[in-house]
Structures are given as structure tokens and as C-alpha cells.
Amino acid sequence: MQKVIEMKPKTIIKWTGNIITILLFLLLMLTLFVVISSEVSGGEPQVFGYQLKTVLSGSMEPEIKTGSIIAVKPGGEMTRFKKGDVISFITEKRVLVTHRIEEVINYGDQVSYRTKGDNNETADPNSVLSNNVIAKYTGFTVPYLGYIANFSKTKLGISLLMFLPGILLIGFSGFTIWTTISQLVRKDDKSSEKSNIEKPI
């Protein structure tokens, strides 16, 4: 017969407290990494050679939802891409766009791409020179996190994301310490009461 292990309420509270503390600490470290990486690179944060880009349009839905964070791989020969690849490039208006290649156009040694957003009815009006391509989309995306990343670039966002996790961590640690002290005080009070009861008259 399998033995059922029952966890006491105090044990559950202790484990829950430890998990929350770890999550708050990881959130603080992640926030510091994103902010510092963005400042050092002068733009989007980078992780192991991959760049994290914010997508705030719905031109590539449903694969890439509005407000998503995507990972792209910069570098390499920008003439290597083929039809169906999703690339990030800079338009003539200096806007970063991530669209799918519809056609590869060769002009002697020059290569350009006809691109289109999956959710758009027509292709982009201008072809993209290979020199204007900056990275290839890896297929990794996190929906809606881009809104937070975009907000983190503002002064208010930096302030909140830098200090809020730390404040929460300190506040929760203080609450945990207060709870522990309260339990010890109650335990001492009970021990004192028991001692007084058992003390002979």
C-alpha cells in the first residue's frame, strides 16, 4: 500500500515563501540584465549572440502577434536567404521591419528581396537590398512581452523595472522575517504558559 505523504501547513507556507523569493530574485536579475544589455548595446538586448526585437505591428500575425518579443540572428552573408525566410531589415524611412521573403531578385552581383507581411494583402512596395538586412528571424517569439520591453526604454519604465522587483523582494523578505519572529514569540509564550501551569504551588 502506497504511503501518502501529508505536508503540514507550515511546511507549505515555507516552501511557498522560498519559491516566491526565488522568483522575485530572478525577476530582479532579468530586469537588470535587460536594462544593462540595452544600454551597453545601444539598442535591443542580446543573449548568446541573438538579438531580442520588439514587434508592435500585426503584419506578421498569426505567427508573430502584436506586442511580441522575437529573437533574431544577426551576422553572416546577407545574400544567403531564400523564399520563405523571415528577415529583419531597415526600410528607406529607417524603420525596422520583420517580414517574409516572397521573391529573391538577382541583379548581377547584387541581391534584393521582395518581402511581405503574412497578414498583409499586398507585398511591400519596395524591394529590400541585402545590405539593408540585419538579421534572420529564428522562430522564437514571446507574445505581448514587447509592450513591457518597449515601456522599459522610457525613463519611467527604467525606474520602475529597476526598483520595483527590489522593493518587492525586500518587502517580502521583511514579511517573512516578521512572520518567523511572530511564530517564535508565540512559541515562547506557549512555553512560558505551560511552565507556569506545571509549576507546583
| Neighbour count for residue 180 (Cβ, 10 Å) | 12
Distance CA(196)–CA(201), nearest Å, equals: 10
Long-range contacts of 81-85 (CB under 8 A, 24+ apart): 81/113, 81/130, 81/133, 81/136, 85/136, 85/137
Residue 88: per-residue pLDDT? 96
First to last CA, the chain: 51
Residue with cell 528577415: 87
Residues with Cβ within 8 Å of 44's Cβ and at least 6 positions away in sequence, in order, are 38, 51, 52, 53, 54
Residue 83: per-residue pLDDT? 96
- Catalytic residue (one of 37, 57, 59, 173): 57
Q: What are phi and psi of 147, to 5 degrees?
A: -60, -40
Grid cell in block for residue 27: 525577476
Distance CA(160)–CA(166), nearest Å, equals: 10
CA distances from 79 to 1, 101, 121, 135, 139 (A): 66, 12, 26, 11, 20
In the chain (201 residues long), the average pLDDT of successive 10-residue segments reads 54 70 68 57 66 90 92 93 96 93 92 96 95 95 78 68 68 72 68 59 54
Q: What are phi and psi of 53, to 5 degrees?
A: -110, 150
Helix, coil or strand: residue 158: helix
* pTM, 2 dp: 0.60
Distance CA(39)–CA(173), nearest Å, equals: 30
Decide if 195 is catalytic.
Answer: no
CA 81: distance to chain centroid?
28
